[in-house]
Amino acid sequence: MPDGAGWPPVLYAGPADMAARFGLQELIALAPLPDSEALPANGPPVFADRWPESGTENQREEGEGSGGPLPPYDAARVNDALERASREADSYLAVRLPVPLDTAGGIPQPLGAAVCDMARYHLCAGFGMQDSEAVERRYREALAWLREVARGAAAIVVPAPPEAPLPQAPEPEVIFRPGRHERFF
């Protein structure tokens, strides 16, 4: 699937993957909306799978932490970072694989994790935030893994798309014709 004009870009990870990997608080801190007071920056991390029972005491009292709307973050900035990281990954993968990868069967977990780490770094570095040593280390590790894939020292297994069942041919009709075989008249 070409990544040209008229085609949506193929992302190897999404905002939900980022929230599951780093926690919603970090996602909000990396890409806050203007005038957002969604979550305090100094609380414990809130991961996507624990959001309904998480949140601050005030949010739980107001119903926000119990199945209410997720805290806001700048989805455009997050998607921009994910797209940038996906295209950066493509630049390494293109040495061995046709890119963008066909993701109909799913995205390989190591690739999704690497793209999340790269997007996190881009969010920190691209918007004037000071990136920590851990964020930069994970970014460098993701690039090192992609270099290994490009070199052929590591493999990336792209899941095959689920195949539709093949249509079954009708059973051939058996026609008995006299005179064709000694047992038949």
Instruction: Kindly give the confidence (pLDDT) of every residue in the chain, 185 residues in length, as a single tens digit, with 9 standing for 90 and above.
Output: 444 444 567 899 999 999 999 988 888 888 888 665 544 444 444 444 444 444 444 443 444 444 555 457 888 889 999 999 999 999 999 999 889 988 888 899 999 999 999 999 999 875 556 668 889 999 999 999 999 999 999 988 887 777 766 666 667 676 666 665 566 55
Sign of CA dihedral 117, 75, 32, 63: negative
| CA torsion, ordered 140, 126, 76, 119, to nearest 10 deg | 0
What is the Cα–Cα distance from 30 to 20, expressed in whole angstroms?
A: 14
List, in order, residues 6 or more apart from 92 with CB less than 8 Å away: 143, 146, 147, 149, 150
What is the Cα–Cα distance from 25 to 9, expressed in whole angstroms?
A: 27
Provide the 10 A C-beta neighbour count for residue 176. 9
